Amino acid sequence: MSLELMTLAMFATLILAITLGHPLAYTLAAVATLFGLIDNGFSIPMLFDMFANNAWGLMNNYTLVAIPLFILMAQLLDRSKVSDALFESLYIVLGGIKGGLGLAVVVVCTVFAATTGIIGASVVAMGLLATPALVNKGYQKELTAGIICASGTLGILIPPSIMMVVYGGLTGLKETSVGNLFAGAILPGLILASLYFVYILIRCNLDPALGPPISKEEALTHTARQKWAMTLKSLLPPMVLILSVMGTILAGVATPTEAAGIGALGAMVLAFFNKKLNFQVLKESSYATLRTTAMVMMLFVGGKFFSTVFLSMGGGDVVADLLVGSGMNRWLVLFVMMGIVFLMGMFIDWAAILLVTVPIFLPIAMELGFDPLWFSLLLCVNLQTSFLTPPFGYALFYFKGVAPEGYTMMHIYKGILPFVVLQVISMVILCLFPGVVTWLPGIFFGS
């Protein structure tokens, strides 16, 4: 079988197995085993050595220790109800303007994103907390679903982000270290949150029926001084935690793994002061952390096996020759790569996409002269759409699971479409202004 046919067959087998509903981590490993045996002349010892070396390299990667620590931090924060107090204060502060409650959701999710990278926790927490308030005030169902789903996914981009830790551990390049990725993701994440904020503000002012303000009586129950005091009181604890994690990384005081340990301890302290820290909370948080970490690492191992076999048999060269050797303009090649990632995001988990595409696409991008850090952040912003794009966007199902009665999947699908467009617009902004990504890493790390 020719190399080109082998490459096509490997991807076709993977897509078929995923479509049939097999577990993703085991599917990646099984497809890698099948085609690894074919490529190596069915030499089991040779393939076993290859897999053992790759698995050992993953388990020996110090950077990946940050994954369970950041997950534990997210689980503790979710159970400490830090976001509840912030939403309640912003409910009063912003609720008096058109679309104000939607804006409050965006602000809370942005702050929450900077303390946790777990999308499920963000969407479910805000779905339970904010959806009843928005529905009771007459917000359109589609807009409510779009606001909560889109804002809840900010955690995968705004650091500290599990995606960035996985990406940095996967590439091993200095340019795409976890510290550089964290610094580079700050402005794109804030730009995306700002696009959501402005969109909600404009749309609700053009059609106030979509997001009416709270009553004047309710808005005037607190003086301006009381509103400021409420907001600062609820905002200060998460901001201290954000600064303790991101500040130590950007200042070069701690590695991302060490900062993750600080974050987990800080989340425990917040839970203690909120009187939510007890044995049951620690038990549930630890169990959820163990389960999520095991899932991520199994995906990591399966994806690593797949990419290793694919590259060792020359599949990466086939894709590179197809794209680079086609004579297309480099921006058109970039568009094709981003289009492939976007389409994969409709059907496959972000971690699998990352593990399959990065070893292939990143060398191509560097050969075309694109900055590896900039390309990496563009890819990560693109991957954020995988949580929103039908038919298998995880954020949509998280929200449906906690949405009030009367919400259909069609309401949710219609609601997220404008926000997917905003995510694409943010990618265009990064293409037009690459300094948005590279500026902060240059300041903090001289990259």
pLDDT digits (tens, 9 = 90+) for 3-16: 778 888 888 888 88
pLDDT above 70 for 355: yes
pLDDT at site 326: 67
Average pLDDT over residues 293-321: 81
- CA dihedral angle for residue 52, residue 53, residue 59, residue 63, rounded to 10 degrees: -160
In this structure, which amino acid lies at residue 214? I
How far is the C-alpha of 278 from the C-alpha of 272, rounded, in Å?
A: 8
In this structure, which amino acid lies at residue 355? L
Look at residue 434 and tell me if it is in a domain: yes
pLDDT above 90 for 162: no
Radius of gyration of the chain from Cα atoms?
A: 22
Look at residue 212 and tell me if it is in a domain: yes
Burial profile 66-89: b = 16 or more Cβ within 10 angstroms, e = fewer: bbbbbbbbbbbbbbbbbbebbbeb
Q: Is 278 helix (H, G, I), strand (E, B) or coil?
A: coil
Closest Cα to residue 315, out of 85, 35, 82? 35
pLDDT at site 436: 93
How far is the C-alpha of 399 from the C-alpha of 213, rounded, in Å?
A: 23
Tokens coding 191: 């730009």
Average pLDDT over residues 105-126: 79
Look at residue 433 and tell me if it is in a domain: yes
Contact 160, 70 (CB under 8 A): yes
Average pLDDT over residues 271-294: 86
pLDDT at site 120: 67
The domain total for the chain is: 1
- Name the pLDDT band for 218 (thresholds 50, 70, 90): low
Domain that holds residue 205: 64-445
pLDDT above 80 for 177: yes
Look at residue 27 and tell me if it is in a domain: no
Look at residue 380 and tell me if it is in a domain: yes
How far is the C-alpha of 274 from the C-alpha of 276, rounded, in Å?
A: 5
pLDDT at site 447: 57
How far is the C-alpha of 2 from the C-alpha of 267, rounded, in Å?
A: 54
Range from 23-27, 137-141, 342-346 carrying the lowest mean pLDDT: 23-27
Q: What is the mean pLDDT of the chain?
A: 84
Look at residue 175 and tell me if it is in a domain: yes
Peptide bond into 418 cis (omega under 30): no
Look at residue 57 and tell me if it is in a domain: no
Q: Which position has the token pair 């617009």?
A: 425
How far is the C-alpha of 168 from the C-alpha of 256, rounded, in Å?
A: 10
Q: Is 40 helix (H, G, I), strand (E, B) or coil?
A: coil
Look at residue 30 and tell me if it is in a domain: no
Q: What is the pLDDT of residues 366-401, one digit of tens each?
A: 988 999 999 999 999 999 888 888 877 778 888 888
Average pLDDT over residues 207-211: 87
